Structure 1
Amino acid sequence: MKIVIINYGAGNIQSIKFAIKRLGYEAVLTDNEEEIRNADKVIFPGVGEASSAMEKLKHTGLDKVIPTLKQPVLGICLGMQLMCKYCEEGNTNGLNIFDVDVIKFDGSEKVPQIGWNQIENLKSDLFKGIKEKEYMYLVHSFYVTLNEETIATTNYGIKYASALKEKNFYGVQFHPEKSSKAGAQILQNFLEL
């Protein structure tokens, strides 16, 4: 199986590569369109600020490539947010794969949310073998509102979408690569989709 991690300079890709390796697979880091298109599975990670990350995608032309992919694609954290229609952070238009906006926590919660929180209302093979209210590791100041594409929710003062699915595209707000056994199970499930 050919696994590609999209490398566009948006941080944290090595920890995902190591997590994939622990599952017994090798992943390639690349921004090459042909390699990405020919992969069996694509992981679109991201840690950082939305507008500068989107600029990097535009610079490489990946903003046009990613929405047209046909194989399973997993967006993680900022990767998921960039797959949405619009992000308040940096007033950024996203890839419009998920028809929903990303907005900032209103301040009644401690921002950013850093640490472990539960995921629930799980609806997808991505969560095979994961129990309701399993803990995942999160770091974010912006969130996706509940919508028709929501396949998991988290409560942080408000209930928000912590995972999304639209056709072959999946997104998770949490970091499966940092979420212990349950996170590893989610990555394994993605690779088996």
Structure 2
Amino acid sequence: MANKILVIDDTTVVRVKVREMLPQGNFEVLEAKDGLEGYNLILNEKVSLIMLDFILPKMSGWEVFQKIQSQSELKKIPLVIMSGRKEEVTEKIPEPFEYFEFLNKPFDKRQLISAIKSAMDKASKKGNTDTAPPIVIAPKQEPVAVKPVMETSSSAADIDALNAKIVKMQAEIDNLKKQLTQVVTFIKQKIK
């Protein structure tokens, strides 16, 4: 019997891409287009691995993750969380990710296989203990207002903060360009 891999992602391209990247004959791929549908499949199917997008309609990946973690049988299932924006994951779940693997979108076949192997390894370590420690949510730190000593130091700090934001935004733009290129390539291959 093939292992069942559940891919929960609202993007059809990602679900198809995962299906095509997996070795033929070894896996039965189940697909869900939103968190609610995915969670119902987790409850009703005996899945061997869950690939979970973090941003989903109807029930977010974060909510699905919390439901999985609240049930001892479900949290034994290897889990790969996927997202193009890792900071949204680390905002809710601090690193290092001990009980699941993170896969940054876009990804290639090597990265996918590596993430699956790592998730299975982490799950087997988790399975050796009766219960995994609870996930600790990192408190969001509020910015502290600091009164500037000199007006120029405040302006320099503002400029530095803006420059840091620009660098971060440029990295996100580059990542989106890479994703777009992969989508276009995928579509061109399907048209042929």
Q: TM-score when scaled to structure 1? A: 0.43
Structure with more contact order per residue of length (Cα contacts < 8 Å, sep ≥ 6)? 1
Q: Which has the higher helix share?
A: 2
- The structure with the larger Rg is 2
Q: TM-score when scaled to structure 2? A: 0.43
